[in-house]
């Protein structure tokens, strides 16, 4: 009996027994498409009908040396990879259109080629001449990188089998199509099949493959989430249109720490790495003003200092506005509720605006205390001292919890000239390594000690 067609959501990859206008998994409308399943492979008999071959097992104590990593020479890129490129690995890079994914990967391809790797750049969206134009603009026209413009997966694998490169960049996976799959290019079935074939080819041949993925309007990589499980590393290239800064963030990495970031600056000649992100994010910070607080955060293994800006103003509307850029809006609502319930400081009838300067996105809970300080500073129109950093997590009871890697945060703050740190109790107090710690037990004590009210 032939396999019955399936209905798959193109936004989240959920499978449905019949077509409907709205996906029950992700809630999107008009995203369910009919999909012809892949033909059953050889050996469709039950597993008990025949025995397979035995596989060889090895011990963890074997003396086999793991393959060495290859450094690109771009320190920020190597940091996010976990220390360099691993042979026989698959990477998935996603980001908004025009954010600089192709520029970054072309620069990385040139650096890897100069480091001795045989690199092939395959574009499914641009002609080879267009890629050369970008290389000339970036000053990379002399780099020994092979170019190709193709979307047929069978032709690509045939070429790779003949060329035997060390690194292959596929730009992008949504443009690839397999002629044995009865589905349109860019569909869930095609994306899954192409990613599976390329990843398996990389593992068998010992080469590294980088897949560029489009993103949805929510910022997630388009296509089935199973693609993210196939690859070894998933990187997101983030940034705001109005800022020259770009953040390369690892959300999954089998060969290094996740949530590691690399910071780049978009210039006329391409992406330039930023060695000291803290200094860059604070470079435009002028005279301290109400609502401005410096937060000492941790991104992956790297301490990063960034300015939090808050504005609190009376609202003419019955429903006050809560606008957040670069932080979680639900977390802001929680901090406002704790300030009102535990400290008696209401924000009713006040519009609240919160912004993370520089286009950086913060997700760690240690930013709670810095956000509360920025809100109180804006509400009371009282600026904090310029040489002060703040960090700590706020619980619903109003207590302050210590943040991890306190010493690394303070070391980064001291390197940039900060002399005072406001943080929760739980560590040593007093003078230590040139920075004075003000340890506070709860949010009420913080309000009274810093702003003189309770």
Q: What is the pLDDT of residues 203-248, one digit of tens each?
A: 999 999 999 998 876 667 766 677 898 999 999 998 877 778 899 9
DSSP assigned state of 64: P
- The reply to whether 98 sits in an annotated binding site is yes
Residues 6+ apart with CB under 8 A from 255: 81, 82, 83, 86, 89, 232, 233
Q: Determine how β-strand 302-314 pairs with β-strand 292-299.
A: antiparallel
- The reply to whether 96 sits in an annotated binding site is yes
Q: State the Cα–Cα distance between residues 117 and 93, nearest whole angstrom.
A: 20
Q: State the Cα–Cα distance between residues 376 and 336, nearest whole angstrom.
A: 10
Predicted pLDDT of residue 427: 60
Percent of the chain with pLDDT strictly greater than 90:
61
Q: What is the pLDDT of residues 410-433, one digit of tens each?
A: 999 999 999 999 999 986 555 556
Helix, strand, coil percentages for the chain (3-state, nearest 5) = 30, 30, 45
Any idea where the domains of the chain sit in the sequence?
A: 1-33, 75-275, 280-451
Asked whether residue 13 carries a pLDDT value surpassing 80, the answer given is no
Predicted pLDDT of residue 453: 57
The two three-digit tokens of residue 258, written as one number: 């996740």
The answer to whether the CB of 109 falls within 8 A of the CB of 167 is yes
- The reply to whether 99 sits in an annotated binding site is yes
Predicted pLDDT of residue 219: 66
Strands (E), 404-451: 420-424, 430-432, 435-440
Residues 6+ apart with CB under 8 A from 137: 269, 270
- The reply to whether 43 sits in an annotated binding site is no
Instruction: Please classify residue 74 by burial: count the beta carbons closer than 10 Å to its beta carbon, then call 0-12 exposed, 13-18 middle and 19+ buried.
Output: buried
The answer to whether the CB of 350 falls within 8 A of the CB of 315 is yes
The answer to whether the CB of 320 falls within 8 A of the CB of 352 is yes
- The reply to whether 100 sits in an annotated binding site is yes
Give the right CATH number for 280-451 from 3.30.230.10, 2.60.40.10, 3.40.50.300, 1.20.120.1080.
Answer: 3.30.230.10
Q: State the Cα–Cα distance between residues 121 and 143, nearest whole angstrom.
A: 12
The two three-digit tokens of residue 392, written as one number: 């700590």
The model carries a pTM of 0.79
Give the right CATH number for 75-275 from 1.10.3230.20, 3.40.630.30, 3.10.129.10, 3.40.50.300.
Answer: 3.40.50.300
- The reply to whether 170 sits in an annotated binding site is no
Q: What is the pLDDT of residues 131-173, one digit of tens each?
A: 999 999 999 999 999 999 999 999 999 999 999 999 999 998 9
pLDDT band per the 50, 70, 90 thresholds, residue 3: low
- The reply to whether 320 sits in an annotated binding site is no
pLDDT band per the 50, 70, 90 thresholds, residue 45: very low
Instruction: Please classify residue 7 by burial: count the beta carbons closer than 10 Å to its beta carbon, then call 0-12 exposed, 13-18 middle and 19+ buried.
Output: middle
Cα 188 versus chain centre, distance: 23
Average pLDDT over residues 190-211: 94
């Amino acid at each position: 009996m032939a396999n019955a067609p399936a209905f798959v959501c193109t936004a989240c990859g959920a499978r449905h027994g019949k077509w409907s206008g709205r996906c029950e998994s992700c809630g999107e409308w008009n995203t369910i498409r009919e999909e012809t399943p892949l033909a059953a492979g050889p050996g469709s008999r039950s597993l008990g009908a025949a025995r397979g071959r035995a596989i060889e097992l090895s011990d963890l104590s074997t003396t086999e040396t793991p393959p060495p990593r290859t450094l690109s020479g771009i320190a920020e890129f190597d940091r996010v990879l976990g220390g360099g490129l691993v042979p026989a690995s698959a990477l998935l890079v996603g980001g908004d259109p025009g954010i600089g994914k192709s520029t970054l990967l072309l620069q990385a391809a040139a650096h890897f080629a100069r480091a001795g790797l045989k690199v092939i750049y395959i574009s499914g969206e641009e002609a080879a001449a267009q890629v050369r134009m970008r290389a000339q603009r970036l000053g990379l026209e002399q780099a020994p990188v092979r170019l190709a413009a193709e979307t047929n997966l069978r032709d690509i694998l045939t070429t790779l089998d003949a060329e035997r490169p060390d690194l292959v960049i596929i730009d992008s996976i949504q443009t690839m199509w397999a002629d044995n799959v009865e589905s349109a290019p860019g569909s869930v079935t095609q994306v899954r099949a192409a990613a599976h074939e390329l990843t398996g080819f990389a593992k068998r041949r010992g080469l590294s493959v980088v897949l560029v993925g489009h993103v949805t309007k929510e910022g997630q990589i388009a296509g089935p989430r199973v693609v993210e499980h196939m690859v070894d590393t998933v990187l997101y290239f983030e940034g705001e249109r109005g800022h020259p800064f770009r953040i390369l963030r690892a959300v999954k990495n089998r060969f290094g720490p996740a949530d590691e970031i690399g910071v780049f600056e978009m210039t006329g000649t391409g992406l330039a790495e930023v060695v000291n992100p803290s200094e860059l994010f604070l470079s435009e910070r002028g005279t301290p003003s109400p609502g401005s607080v410096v937060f000492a955060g941790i991104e992956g293994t790297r301490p990063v200092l960034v300015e939090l800006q808050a504005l609190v103003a009376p609202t003419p509307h019955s429903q006050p506005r809560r606008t957040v850029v670069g932080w979680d809006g639900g977390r802001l609502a929680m901090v406002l509720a704790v300030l009102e319930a535990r400290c008696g400081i209401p924000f009713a009838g006040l519009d609240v605006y919160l912004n993370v300067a520089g286009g950086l996105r913060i997700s760690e809970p240690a930013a709670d205390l810095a956000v509360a300080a920025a809100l109180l500073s804006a509400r009371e129109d009282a600026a904090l001292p310029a040489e002060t950093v703040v960090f700590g997590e706020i619980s619903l009871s109003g207590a302050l919890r210590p943040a991890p890697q306190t010493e690394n945060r303070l070391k980064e703050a001291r390197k940039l000239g900060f002399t005072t740190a406001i943080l929760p109790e739980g560590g040593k107090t007093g003078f230590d390594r040139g920075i004075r710690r003000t340890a506070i037990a709860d949010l009420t004590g913080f309000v009274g000690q810093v702003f003189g009210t309770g």
